[in-house]
Structure 1
Amino acid sequence: MAPWTRLAFVPLLAQAVSSTPVADPRHDDAVHLDQRDSAPEGYDSPPYYPTPYGGWASDWTSAYAKAQQVVSNMTLAEKVNLTTGTGFYMGPCVGQTGSAPRFGIPNLCLQDSPLGIRNSDHNTAFPPGITVGATFNKDLMYTRGVGIGEEARGKGVNIQLGPAVGPLGRKPRGGRIWEGFGADPSLQGIAGALTIRGMQSTGAIATIKHYIGNEQEMYRMSSVITKGYSSNIDDRTLHELYLWPFAEGVRAGVGALMTAYNDVNSSACSQNSKLLNGILKDELGFQGFVMTDWLGHYTGVGSALSGLDMCMPGDGAVPLLGDSYWGSEMSRSILNGSVPVDRLNDMVTRIVATWYQMGQDEDYPLPNFSTNTEDETGLLYPGALFSPSGVVNQYVNVQGTHNITARAVAREAITLLKNEGNILPLGKNDSLQVFGTDAGGNSDGLNSCSDMGCDKGVLTMGWGSGTARLPYLITPQEGISNVTQNAKFYITDSFPSDVTVSANDIAVVFINADSGENYITVEGNPGDRTEAGLYAWHNGDDLVKAAAEKFSQVVVVIHTVGPILMEEWIDLESVKAVLVAHLPGQEAGNSLADVLFGDYSPSGHMPYTIPRSESDYPDSVGIINQPFGQIQDTYTEGLYIDYRHFINANITPRYPFGHGLSYTTFNFSNPSISVVTALNTAYPPTAPSHGSTPVYNDSIPAASEVSWSSTNFTRIWRYLYPYLDNPESITASDDYPYPDGYSTTPQPAPRAGGGQGGNPALFDVAFSVQVDVKNTGSRSGKAVAQLYVELPASLGLDTPLMQLRQFEKTGTLGPGQSESLTLEITRKDVSVWDVEVQDWKAPVNGEGIKIWVGNSVADTPVLCVVGGGCSVE
């Protein structure tokens, strides 16, 4: 999401689940946006109604029971209050719901971002998701999640808007791929689930986002001249790639989910009944609540019927006008019968149950900060024409010792791509000359660019709503200077003409590549890297080449949001070493110095592929620039993105997915494989029946429950309320134009469902692989074992040759030390999605499955064949 400054892209009322517009509860003043290019044949989103009830999962039973007691006694106004945001700038947080004070439920505070508390103070700016993915360290993934959750709780944030597992990284130029954990569904799924578990262990509600297919920033939203693009994804690709990490998040018990702005198969994500009702809430068994992204709410009745539970920030098509698709219009829709009472009851129950599930009814803090100002006092409702004032920032310090975690994540992510002659680690007495503005700080001052919307100084994170203010910044210049006095710094992106070079001098050149969210354009790049492409910013390639002409030893340090081309200089004789430090957050300099000077050996691995040319990617994954009409972004490459594509097309990349060197060496030995749960059948056994769900009186309530005449408080203009003037005049009607396929008859249980994340049998451990990892070098270090699955042709489907399914990282191993790692894979890990049967299909008894373990997708010395034992090359 993003702040109100995105109003240049204000969405109009979009079409509902099908290509036929569905009216808003206001009926005659609904806006219909018919401008649409036809989707390719075979890409559609069939209707799926009604919304399945939440509450049947056993580990949510207590929370739903508490919620049922409360919701049973709520008025219509209280129910609507909790489903509708109060409006832009109508509270301290980036979004907040109305409240139900009779039951102790406050305005629920929703706040960005996936890497920390956005627009706050005394918080930690953790490294972003792409950096976390590069660590391949499960403990750090969880610990960082705990830190984010602790800070959210400490600031009074009920619902923290992260982690992000969409975009998946299909488009290398995509603006927000750095918010996720890497271009692989298993890496995203494991990291996302561990982040969620960590966050929610503190009582904060995590929000998994953006559901689904938001793979480029440009034209994601509807506006006065265009319609948000449609990501056209076939069923198998959806399940095996883009849905996979969301399923893992649901399995982890995530409390909230945020929909994407775009359409999927010509139906807007926030009102796509197949995605929300059918896949998320039925097949995946999601027990929490679904919210819109900010201004991603396009209809009233249509979105409610399709499975949306909360609209954010609450406003209608144009914010700050005081109107909403829900709010008072939801009250009208309940009274006139166009939205069934049981749908509203389920919406509210999901929200309240999630609040109870995380224990937020027990001494959870209220917000003590303002996302709107850094001043101590200010307007309580800045979006109102007239607003009371008061203390809005209490400057509560929530950082604790999270700087330790931030530094550890940034350090363990650093990925050594090249190290000729073992030039690294550097010695403290080496003569260094350091080049590039990326080694320094922002010359305009710390946090001088709103939401990091500039590329000045060391690149700590991309830009947009997925950021946090830096409480401090240790630059690479500071980090290096703290270790050695033998470094001279040239904080410039133009190679100086007066550099004097001695034979033993080492040049350390810093370059970067930035991107972010679409509401900010930086140096001609509107979120996506349209202007810069995959090249280094600020003529970084030229800076490296100039240094390579003068110095015989060059070390390149890269801070980047995603894939970056290196071909202009990577093979130059002088370029001896390359480190990708990803996006390091506040501890940029310390984490780099830890590795650069050898206190720690690099142990990061690439969470995406580095190509030799952008033309090496499929044509279909380029950014689409089409300002008029609806873009049809069809995923014709199917399953073949990132390393799956490179292997399938027989293209050798510059550096493969998973690549990462060390200052020491490791070998794998003594591999073994064991069957844990036999795959006796191709499809998993039938899931157990659902538990019971809350039951309510679903009669239309009294109109007086939402009458303005029943209230006695001072009304704030532009604040979104559930109340109506003269609601007694509203009568039920039988002629509401419901979406095509709408029904109140429950659907048959999906055969792939039955538990959170899907059929519980999908997550039975099928095979366990053990392997010993030994440090065979002379320095201490950590190794990562990556497990890739090769499925047999007997499944009868075109399947990528290698697919990451598991990984484990060793502890620090001294020279000669070994550690035995166990990597477990589930039935789902060795299955494909059968689009005809609508279930996951695995080879019976695992016949023909090959399991590879190694250092990267291109370096897998261990081979285990199910039923045939293991070997090491």
Structure 2
Amino acid sequence: MLDQLLDRMTLEEQVALLSGADFWTTVAVERLGILKIKVTDGPNGARGGGSLVGGVKSACFPAAIGIGAAWNPGLVREMGVALAEETKTKSARVLLAPTVNIHRSGLNGRNFECYSEDPVLTSALAVAYIEGVQSQGIAATIKHFIGNESEIERQTMSSDLDERTLREIYLPPFEAAVKQAGVWAIMSSYNRLNGVWTSENRWLLTELLREEWGYDGIVMSDWFGSHTTEASVIGGLDLEMPGPTRDRGDKLITAVREGRVPEETVKAAARRILLLLERVGAFADASMHEEKAIDRPEHRALIRKLGADGMVLLKNDGILPLDKSALDRIAVLGPNAAEPRVMGGGSAQINAHYKVSPLEGIRNALSGTNRVSHIMGCRNNRLTRMVEGEISLDFFQGTRCEGTVVHSDQAQISNFFWLDMPKASLDPLDFSVRLKTTYRPEESGNHLFGLANAGLARLYVDDVLVVDSYGGWKRGDNFFGNGNTEIRVEHFLEAGRSYEIRVDYRSPAEVESGIRIRALRFGVELPTSDKDIQLAVEQARASDIAVLFVGREGEWDTEGLDLPDMRLPGRQEELIEKVAAVNPRSIVVLQTGGPIEMPWLDKVSAVIQAWYPGQEAGNAIADVLFGAAEPGGRLPQTFPQRLTDNSAMTGDPKTYPGESGHVVYTEGLAVGYRHHDANGAKPLFPFGYGLSYTRFDWSAPRASSRDMGSAGVAIEVDVTNIGDRAGGELVQLYVKPKSSRLPRPVKELKAFAKLHVAAGETATAKLSIAVRDLAYFDPQARAWIAEAGDYDLVIAANAEHIRATLPLTLASEWREGVSAPPLPDVVD
């Protein structure tokens, strides 16, 4: 059918399929009954085709790093099924997820959106996610292919890697997605690989992906992430997104007719687009309904379960789980207590059906009693606090907020993305908006007003210009690097008085190449004072326990910028230290998208890493605090004691954050626990670490053979719960070569099993490895090689806690050749 349809298409119609129609849909060829389909962002929800903020509500699932911490492919498969259901409510056929880039450092702004520092764990979760999504007829889109481990200058930076590092660390999740899960779509990354844009890299997209791995799905660009006509099509990029086209269309038709692009190359790409449409059922039913907000109780329950399953108990002196009957007064403190931090920022954010804060969750768990007191203590937001309430918007043609109002709207929060115009008659390069709202401060004092904009803006208070972001505007660290750095100005406000805030925004006269965004964000807040912290300290002093909810939020952990360091922002460390000094029964609940330094660790009784656990955040956290659920997580990323212990932080800017447009992965294979094994630097918490509310005994491991054969080797470990409550345990299997012709990591994870064991019961961890699990990639030999000789199979609870070691022998060398030519050297 597809070939017959393809033969009926003109060159113009084939080319039309190779670009988006608009921001979220593909092009229709109505003459042949080919209708458009919609795509939607993920990976922790399905946002639909609206703005990055607001829009139709959706279920918000835990961020990927929390899913990585769960080490539970079965549960991830369930999540994939649920996300496919969510995608259908937005009338979309393609989910732009999962994100599987590796945790190379602790500073990547999208660390929260990726699973792990380890390719085996990442691969297992990616396969489960894809299988779940695609089982429902929705296409998964694994991303970002490849080398997008930092957000710094990501649209121009070249990630420079040797082929062995690429194949052993960064490519395995994509390879598994193709060969095991049969993924239907792949998204190229913004960056270059060894100097060549990934969106036109023939070695990556054609010679490796299609010819060596046998991939038959589509490759789409990241949004505005393609750059050329001929090079991208010949390189293997099928779909330029978003539309309307920039480099395809007439340019590509001309290139074909002039012989610069083979007609068969266009035809093959068009066929892959048609295959995608067939796979998602678009030929059988191409209807596109209005987006719906369907709040399913089964999704609520799954989100709550996933949230708890990914929470990692890092420290516990016996205070947890909390006994509700033994507590008269609980101080709930910190900037994340009353604010539900449920997700990271950037394209992963959605308009959640609801968001449960930890304060609400604790009060729910205690049936609304008055035993709970709350003081924020300090702030942790990167940008000034957004204004919430009724905000009016009047849109004008032209850039002066003058003339007839073309369109009016209302909003409830002062954050705006205009990816598409709210009215078709508005010119996206020549419009303006006047926003008005009322603000009533609770305290008198100098308030901070902040303004960030992609475009130009001015903020007035009672018609007095306070923040001017017109003159001298330049790109900064907001709106994916397309907005300025927030401008902050102090302005005195009197408590109880109502002030009118007005912002006049105008679109930029021209939009540079890259992501095209028109956006605005404004805020106002009273900065943290010594009095705020002291109130929290006094509340802690007068309480049985103090629970501190600290960390970051989606303005720190976000697409478009990396973190400045691994410390808690603002005065949070001070708050923890002072609270713990007056109440040693202090519990810290962290919400971050990656590791942090913890100079206060020895002074508190317990620490839970809760990540960003989705819309049920507060309920899931309360479940863990009070023992209704086990803290099921184990770290998917090493927590170093200090930033300089990270392998990417060599002090050489070429290694991180990059220099002269290139970031060089000089650490090679030494990522995460591999680095700590190699240099002996003791981590704060090792990869795979996590405590439980119960205790386990492990049996001696049993192997099906001490010799590696063609059928592989199976290993079993009996795990007995000797505590008085059910709990989860993680069994890891690492391979440790005794010798090697090429340098190798000390050990590498090759299998794992997550067990849930009832009190007094025994469960068996069943692990298996194949001969390729013993192999390394030899670039000179163009093959995966497992050398004949002796290996150790290391059975461990985490990367530092080794339970047992089994010997294994491979009698003769094993090789599996690759067909792709060598990865080209770095070019400028």
Both proteins in one fold, TM over 0.5: yes
Q: What is the letter of the counterpart of residue 548 of structure 2?
A: V
Q: Which residue of 2 aligns with 1:233?
A: 161
The separation in 2 between residues aligned to 1:422 and 1:297, in whole angstroms, is: 54
Equivalent pair of 1:151/1:398 in contact (CA under 8 Å): no
Establish whether residue 195 from structure 1 lines up as the match of residue 195 from structure 2: no
Deviation for aligned residue 1:422: 4.1
The separation in 1 between residues aligned to 2:628 and 2:25, in whole angstroms, is: 45
Establish whether residue 405 from structure 1 lines up as the match of residue 317 from structure 2: no
Equivalent pair of 1:785/1:809 in contact (CA under 8 Å): yes
Q: What is the letter of the counterpart of residue 575 of structure 2?
A: L
Q: For residues 534-590 of structure 1, give each alpha carbon's deviation from its aligned partner in whole angstroms, at most 9, with x where no partner exists.
A: 111232211110111110211000011101110x20012xx1100000111101011
* Residue in structure 2 matching 1:311, options 212, 216, 240: 240
Task: Mark the CA change 1:833 to 1:105 in structure 2 (over 3 Å): closer, same or farther.
Answer: same
The separation in 2 between residues aligned to 1:477 and 1:578, in whole angstroms, is: 17
Equivalent pair of 1:439/1:491 in contact (CA under 8 Å): yes
The separation in 2 between residues aligned to 1:627 and 1:648, in whole angstroms, is: 23
Q: Which residue of 1 aligns with 2:763?
A: 819
% identity of equivalent residues: 33
Equivalent pair of 1:173/1:623 in contact (CA under 8 Å): no
Q: Which residue of 2 aligns with 1:111?
A: 40
Deviation for aligned residue 1:805: 1.7
The separation in 1 between residues aligned to 2:356 and 2:320, in whole angstroms, is: 24
The separation in 1 between residues aligned to 2:374 and 2:697, in whole angstroms, is: 39
The separation in 1 between residues aligned to 2:781 and 2:539, in whole angstroms, is: 70
Establish whether residue 424 from structure 1 lines up as the match of residue 424 from structure 2: no
1:701-720 to 2 correspondences below 5 Å: none
Q: Which residue of 2 aligns with 1:641?
A: 671
Aligned length: 644
TM-score using structure 2 length? 0.74
Deviation for aligned residue 1:783: 1.2
The separation in 1 between residues aligned to 2:33 and 2:653, in whole angstroms, is: 48
Equivalent pair of 1:435/1:495 in contact (CA under 8 Å): no
Task: Mark the CA change 1:489 to 1:428 in structure 2 (over 3 Å): closer, same or farther.
Answer: farther
1:616-635 to 2 correspondences below 5 Å: 616-620=645-649, 630-635=660-665
Q: For residues 613-655 of structure 1, give each alpha carbon's deviation from its aligned partner in whole angstroms, at most 9, with x where no partner exists.
A: 1111235577959999842211110000111111111011110
Equivalent pair of 1:851/1:864 in contact (CA under 8 Å): yes
Task: Mark the CA change 1:519 to 1:421 in structure 2 (over 3 Å): closer, same or farther.
Answer: closer
Q: What is the letter of the counterpart of residue 603 of structure 1?
A: G
Establish whether residue 506 from structure 1 lines up as the match of residue 448 from structure 2: no
Paired residue secondary structure (2:632): coil
Q: Which residue of 2 aligns with 1:589?
A: 618
What RMSD, in angstroms, separates the aligned Cα atoms of the two structures? 2.4
Q: Which residue of 2 aligns with 1:706?
A: none
Q: What is the letter of the counterpart of residue 296 of structure 1?
A: G
Q: For residues 510-547 of structure 1, give each alpha carbon's deviation from its aligned partner in whole angstroms, at most 9, with x where no partner exists.
A: 11124669997xxxxx62112xx111123221111011
* Residue in structure 2 matching 1:674, options 687, 701, 704: 704
The separation in 2 between residues aligned to 1:639 and 1:655, in whole angstroms, is: 20
* Residue in structure 2 matching 1:437, options 310, 335, 358: 335
Deviation for aligned residue 1:670: 4.2
Equivalent pair of 2:557/2:563 in contact (CA under 8 Å): no
Equivalent pair of 2:540/2:546 in contact (CA under 8 Å): no
The separation in 2 between residues aligned to 1:515 and 1:616, in whole angstroms, is: 25
Deviation for aligned residue 1:313: 0.8
Task: Mark the CA change 1:263 to 1:367 in structure 2 (over 3 Å): closer, same or farther.
Answer: farther
Q: What is the letter of the counterpart of residue 427 of structure 1?
A: K
The separation in 2 between residues aligned to 1:516 and 1:260, in whole angstroms, is: 22
Q: What is the letter of the counterpart of residue 674 of structure 2?
A: R
Q: Which residue of 2 aligns with 1:488?
A: 373
Q: Which residue of 2 aligns with 1:717?
A: none
Q: Which residue of 1 aligns with 2:221?
A: 292
Q: Which residue of 2 aligns with 1:278?
A: 207
* Residue in structure 2 matching 1:348, options 257, 270, 281: 270
Q: For residues 439-496 of structure 1, give each alpha carbon's deviation from its aligned partner in whole angstroms, at most 9, with x where no partner exists.
A: 11xxxxxxxxxxxxxxxx2321111002221110111001100122322111332423
Paired residue secondary structure (2:81): helix
The separation in 2 between residues aligned to 1:175 and 1:152, in whole angstroms, is: 25
Q: Which residue of 1 aligns with 2:733?
A: 787
Deviation for aligned residue 1:668: 1.4
Task: Mark the CA change 1:297 to 1:827 in structure 2 (over 3 Å): closer, same or farther.
Answer: same
Q: What is the letter of the counterpart of residue 780 of structure 2?
A: E
Q: Which residue of 2 aligns with 1:339?
A: 261
Q: Which residue of 1 aligns with 2:400?
A: none
TM-score using structure 1 length? 0.71
The separation in 2 between residues aligned to 1:784 and 1:153, in whole angstroms, is: 34
1:729-808 to 2 correspondences below 5 Å: 766-793=712-739, 795-808=740-753
Paired residue secondary structure (2:350): coil
Equivalent pair of 2:330/2:543 in contact (CA under 8 Å): no
Worse overlay, 241-250 or 279-288? 279-288
Equivalent pair of 1:82/1:99 in contact (CA under 8 Å): yes
Q: What is the letter of the counterpart of residue 658 of structure 1?
A: G
Equivalent pair of 1:121/1:397 in contact (CA under 8 Å): no
Q: Which residue of 1 aligns with 2:800?
A: 858
Equivalent pair of 1:603/1:781 in contact (CA under 8 Å): yes
The separation in 1 between residues aligned to 2:185 and 2:651, in whole angstroms, is: 31
1:512-591 to 2 correspondences below 5 Å: 512-514=551-553, 527-530=561-564, 533-566=565-598, 568-572=599-603, 575-591=604-620
Gaps of 5+ in 2: 379-531, 811-828
Task: Mark the CA change 1:831 to 1:398 in structure 2 (over 3 Å): closer, same or farther.
Answer: farther
Q: For residues 815-840 of structure 1, give each alpha carbon's deviation from its aligned partner in whole angstroms, at most 9, with x where no partner exists.
A: 21001121122333221111112121
Q: Which residue of 1 aligns with 2:173?
A: 245
Q: What is the letter of the counterpart of residue 601 of structure 2?
A: I
Deviation for aligned residue 1:661: 0.4
Q: What is the letter of the counterpart of residue 175 of structure 2?
A: A
Paired residue secondary structure (1:866): strand
The separation in 1 between residues aligned to 2:174 and 2:10, in whole angstroms, is: 34
Q: What is the letter of the counterpart of residue 783 of structure 2?
A: D
In proportion to residue count, which structure has more strand? 2
Deviation for aligned residue 1:679: 4.2
Equivalent pair of 1:199/1:206 in contact (CA under 8 Å): yes
Worse overlay, 585-594 or 509-518? 509-518
Q: Which residue of 1 aligns with 2:691?
A: 661
Deviation for aligned residue 1:806: 1.7
Establish whether residue 833 from structure 1 lines up as the match of residue 783 from structure 2: no
Q: For residues 233-268 of structure 1, give each alpha carbon's deviation from its aligned partner in whole angstroms, at most 9, with x where no partner exists.
A: 001000000001111111211111111111111111
Equivalent pair of 1:176/1:516 in contact (CA under 8 Å): no
Q: For residues 42-96 of structure 1, give each alpha carbon's deviation from its aligned partner in whole angstroms, at most 9, with x where no partner exists.
A: xxxxxxxxxxxxxxxxxxxxxxxx322321222222211211112xxx3xxx422
1:601-612 to 2 correspondences below 5 Å: 601-612=630-641
Higher RCO (CA < 8 A, seq sep 6+):
1
The separation in 2 between residues aligned to 1:246 and 1:127, in whole angstroms, is: 22
1:256-267 to 2 correspondences below 5 Å: 256-267=185-196
